Amino acid sequence: MAPRLTSSARQLVGAALLGVTVVLGLLSFAGAAEAATVKGSPPKVEQQVIPRPTPYYDQFNSGMASSSIRVFGTNGQLLMYGNRDVKYYLPQMLVSGKTPAALWALGYQLFEQNCSACHGVEADGVPPANTPSPGNVPYPNLTGLGPATYDFWIESGRMPAASTPQTQPMRRPARLNELQALAISDFLNTKSPQCPLCYAASPFVPNVLDLATANLSDGAALFALNCAACHTITGDGDALANSTFAPSLRDVPARQVAEALRTGPGNMPVFSGNLTDAQLRDVVAYVTEKIQHPQNPGGLGLGGIGPVAEGFIGLALGVGLLALVGFWIGDRS
Partner 1 sequence: MTARLGMRLPGRSKKEREPLGPYGRVGKAVEELDERLGIAKGGKTFLDKIFPDHWSFMLGEIALYTFVILLVTGVFLTLYYVPSSALTIYHGPYKPLDGQLVSQAFSSTMDLSFTVRAGLLMRQMHHWACDIFVGAIVLHMARVFFTGAFRKPRELNWTIGLTMLILAILNGFIGYSLPDDLISGTGIRIAYSILLSIPVVGSYLAFFLFGGNFPGTSIIPRFYVLHVLIIPAVLVGLLGAHLFLLVRQKHTQFPGPGKTERNVVGSPMYPVFMAKTTGFLFMISGVVALLGTFFQVNPIWQFGQYKASNISYAVQPDWYMGWLDGALRVMPAWEFVGWGHTIPFNVFVPAIIFPGIIFNICYAWPAIERRYTKDNLLHNLLDRPRDRPKRTAAGAAMLGLLSTLFVASATDVLANFFKISLNTVLVSMRVLTVIVPVIAYFLTYRICKELQAVPGAGKRKVVNVVAMTEGGEYTATPVAPPPELVDHELDAEPVPGLIGEDAPADAVAAAAAVGGRPGNVGTSSVRTVPR
Binding site for partner 1 (CB under 8 A): 1-4, 167, 216-217, 219-221, 224-225, 228-234, 236-243, 245-246, 286, 290, 294-302, 304-308, 310-315, 317-319, 321-323, 325-333
Taking the least distance from each CB to partner 1, the nearer of 81 and 223 is: 223
Backbone angles phi, psi at 18, to 5 degrees: -60, -40
CB 328 within 8 A of CB 20: no
Taking each helix axis from N to C end, the angle separating 321-329 and 7-40, rounded to the nearest 10 degrees, works out to 170
Long-range contacts of 117-124 (CB under 8 A, 24+ apart): 118/161, 122/191, 123/188, 123/191, 124/191
Least Cβ distance, residue 314 to partner 1 (angstroms): 3
- Provide CB contacts within 8 A for 180, sequence distance 6+: 106, 110, 154
Least Cβ distance, residue 175 to partner 1 (angstroms): 21
Measured from the Cβ of residue 86, the count of other Cβ atoms closer than 10 Å reads: 19
Least Cβ distance, residue 239 to partner 1 (angstroms): 3
Taking the least distance from each CB to partner 1, the nearer of 54 and 274 is: 274
Residues 323, 17: Cα–Cα separation, whole Å: 11
Taking the least distance from each CB to partner 1, the nearer of 45 and 319 is: 319
Least Cβ distance, residue 174 to partner 1 (angstroms): 21
Task: Check whether the bond before 160 is cis (ω within 30° of 0).
Answer: yes
Least Cβ distance, residue 210 to partner 1 (angstroms): 18
Least Cβ distance, residue 221 to partner 1 (angstroms): 6
Taking the least distance from each CB to partner 1, the nearer of 28 and 133 is: 28
- Provide CB contacts within 8 A for 129, sequence distance 6+: none
Taking the least distance from each CB to partner 1, the nearer of 48 and 242 is: 242
Residues 210, 206: Cα–Cα separation, whole Å: 11
Taking the least distance from each CB to partner 1, the nearer of 70 and 332 is: 332
